[in-house]
Amino acid sequence: MAYRVAVYNAISASGLGRFAAPHYAVGKALADADAILLRSHALQLSEIPATVKAIARAGAGVNNIPVDEMSKRGVPVFNAPGANANAVKELVIAAVLLAARNVVPAIGYVQSLAASPDFEKRVEDGKKQFAGVELPGRTLGIIGLGAIGGLVAETAIRLGMKVTGYDPEITVDNAWRLPGSVKRAASIEDVLKSSDFVTIHVPLNNHTRHMIGRERLAVAKKGMALLNFSRDAVVDEEAVLASIADKRLRAYICDFPSPKLQGHAGVVTLPHLGASTEEAEENCAVMVVDQLKAFLEEGS
Ligand code: MLT
């Protein structure tokens, strides 16, 4: 059956290869597309031709797609929950280690020493200034215990950390996936009060926008490091900067570049690298292309 898929972002060839050749075209201007396949492109309603019967995102979050309007039109939106969870987990664990050992500011410090005459003394100073902590016995708080949060919990426990988690949506059906030693907190505040590191793994929606703001950060454990590998707007950036200035938050590591956060001590921003591994890109592409194909070719 002939159909046309407009592909808006670079999608792994392992996924695209599952379409027979004439079935997709790369680019936005496909006035008669039957489906849209994308990754990070923020899809506007005006870009969606009336011929579109399905939209697929090669990733977990769907906040860059007008999902409500699509469900009114009866257009399904496919995604790839869990397909990139290991990739995100690995970067989150790396970020916990970076925060624990002050690696990013230490690198900046050493780079600034290049032309310094008292090099050796300043290296010694740096050794003291950037001394860190080890993970066993430290508490990692996880807000959102889905596929990524669950994997992060498992690895953190293997590294000897205590894990406390909060997720109002967890059900008896998916709770079994969580390691038994994850302490279930009653609220986000409880997680923030008791954790040395907190990582957020929730989708962006009306309930989670600016979920971490001034009031909640005010109760955070002093010296906490906050990690955000979910969506930038889940955290109020002004509140984060104020909390770092007050020395309550020690560090904010997030997977989003932000002009507001640029150049602030204690803040590390990444170009949304969490799911950017060969393996995750392939897993996501294969998962959503298979869903699209089944829908377009078999109507299921
Ligand atoms: C996701 O929602 O899974 C990530 O944002 C994926 C990506 O980086 O494309």
pLDDT digits (tens, 9 = 90+) for 135-171: 999 999 999 999 999 999 999 999 999 999 999 887 7
Ligand 1 neighbourhood includes 155 CB (under 6 angstroms): no
User: Tens digit of pLDDT for each residue in 271-297?
Assistant: 999 999 999 999 999 999 999 999 999
Ligand 1 atom nearest to 9, measured from its CA: 9
Give domain 5-80+278-298's CATH architecture. Answer: 3-Layer(aba) Sandwich (3.40)
Ligand 1 neighbourhood includes 39 CB (under 6 angstroms): yes
Cα gap 98→94, rounded to integer Å: 6
39 CA distance to ligand 1 middle (Å): 7
Position of tokens 């002093």?
A: 222
Cα 59 vs. chain centroid, distance in angstroms? 10
Mean pLDDT estimate for the chain: 93
- Read off the pLDDT band of 179 (50, 70, 90): confident
Ligand 1 neighbourhood includes 275 CB (under 6 angstroms): yes
Amino acid at 292: L
Q: What is the ipTM of this complex?
A: 0.94
Ligand 1 neighbourhood includes 231 CB (under 6 angstroms): no
Ligand 1 neighbourhood includes 40 CB (under 6 angstroms): yes
Q: Which regions of the chain carry the CATH code 3.40.50.720? A: 5-80+278-298, 85-269
Residue 42 to residues 37, 38, 84, 144, 274, Cα–Cα distance (Å) = 12, 9, 20, 24, 18
Ligand 1 neighbourhood includes 81 CB (under 6 angstroms): no
For the record, the structure tokens of 155 come out as 């690895």
Ligand 1 atom nearest to 272, measured from its CA: 8
- Which residue puts its alpha carbon closest to atom 6 of ligand 1? 59
pLDDT reading at 80 higher than 90: yes
157: Cβ contacts below 8 Å, ≥ 6 apart = 163, 179, 181, 182
Residue 215 — φ and ψ, nearest 5°? -65, -45
Cα gap 145→165, rounded to integer Å: 7
**Count of other CB atoms within 10 angstroms of residue 219:** 13
Which residue among 12, 272, 279 has the greatest number of ligand 1 atoms within 8 angstroms of its CB, and so is best to mutate?
Answer: 272
**What pTM was computed for the model?**
0.94
Cα gap 130→142, rounded to integer Å: 25
234 CA distance to ligand 1 middle (Å): 15
What integer is the mean pLDDT of 193-201? 98
pLDDT reading at 25 higher than 90: no
Ligand 1 atom nearest to 62, measured from its CA: 2
Ligand 1 neighbourhood includes 60 CB (under 6 angstroms): yes
User: What is the pLDDT, as a whole number, of residue 173?
Assistant: 66
User: What is the pLDDT, as a whole number, of residue 265?
Assistant: 93
User: What is the pLDDT, as a whole number, of residue 26?
Assistant: 65
Lowest mean pLDDT among 3-12, 49-58, 209-218: 3-12
Ligand 1 neighbourhood includes 63 CB (under 6 angstroms): no
At 51 the three-state DSSP class reads coil
Ligand 1 neighbourhood includes 287 CB (under 6 angstroms): no
For the record, the structure tokens of 152 come out as 């992060």
Task: Match domain 85-269 to its CATH number in 3.40.1410.10, 3.65.10.10, 2.60.40.1180, 3.40.50.720.
Answer: 3.40.50.720
- Read off the pLDDT band of 232 (50, 70, 90): very high
62 CA distance to ligand 1 middle (Å): 9
- Read off the pLDDT band of 189 (50, 70, 90): very high
Closest CA to 224 of 256, 193, 253, 196: 196
- Which residue puts its alpha carbon closest to atom 8 of ligand 1? 275
Which helix (H) or strand (E) segment is 95 a member of? helix 85-100
